[in-house]
Amino acid sequence: MIVNLISLIGLPGSGKSTVGRQLARRLQLPFLDSDHVIEQRLGCSIREYFEREGEDHFRDMEEAVIDELTQLPEGVLSTGGGVVLRPNNRLHLRERTQVVYLNSMPDELFRRLRHDKNRPLLQVADPLQRLRDLYVQRAPLYRETAHFSIDTGRPSVSTLVNTIIMQLELANNV
């Protein structure tokens, strides 16, 4: 069966949105970012909602949005970094889409994100340690959910897109 809905998962800053936009363009598919859909529905930033309502309420909204978006007929879906924390999200992503895990090491992510003030989980005294903790907690869940894992390292976005397309072609899904 050919799957026309591809999901990108990974830690914050792993390139899901950037790579997703380019991948969608190359495959001539719509691009969707679950965090942007959530922000549109909330009428505020995820960071504001996180601070006001807490993570559990945010995860409830995220779960509803993921359930909805994974039922679309086609597209490239960029997800939030914590999407794998809920079992239903993992199930819907894995069963309804081709899931690509953009595997980035915490030190590399810290280099990319150290000045980013819009990521609620990184607004802590030691963001590098926070990224390391998130990696330990989430990497097994990403691997469990993904059909393919791509190590991001330092290749260009176009190289990552080519690698993803090659993996999908090898699996006869493009």
**CATH number of the CATH domain containing 95:** 3.40.50.300
Write down the pLDDT at residue 13. Answer: 87
At 48-94, the pLDDT tens digits run 898 899 989 999 999 999 999 999 999 999 999 999 999 999 999 99
Write down the pLDDT at residue 173. Answer: 56
In the chain, where does DSSP find H-type helix?
A: 16-27, 34-42, 46-53, 55-69, 87-96, 106-113, 127-145, 157-170
Range of the domain at 98: 5-170
Domains contained in the chain, number: 1
Residue ranges of the binding site for substrate:
35, 59, 81, 138
Specify the DSSP class assigned to residue 5.
E
Q: Reduce the DSSP state of residue 7 to 3 states and report it.
A: strand
At 87-135, the pLDDT tens digits run 999 999 999 999 999 999 999 988 887 777 666 666 778 888 989 999 9
Residue ranges of the binding site for ATP:
13-18, 119
C-alpha–C-alpha distance, residues 74 and 46, integer Å: 25
Largest CA-CA distance found in the chain, in angstroms, rounded: 47
C-alpha–C-alpha distance, residues 111 and 41, integer Å: 31
Residue ranges of the binding site:
13-18, 35, 59, 81, 119, 138
Residue ranges of the binding site for Mg(2+):
17
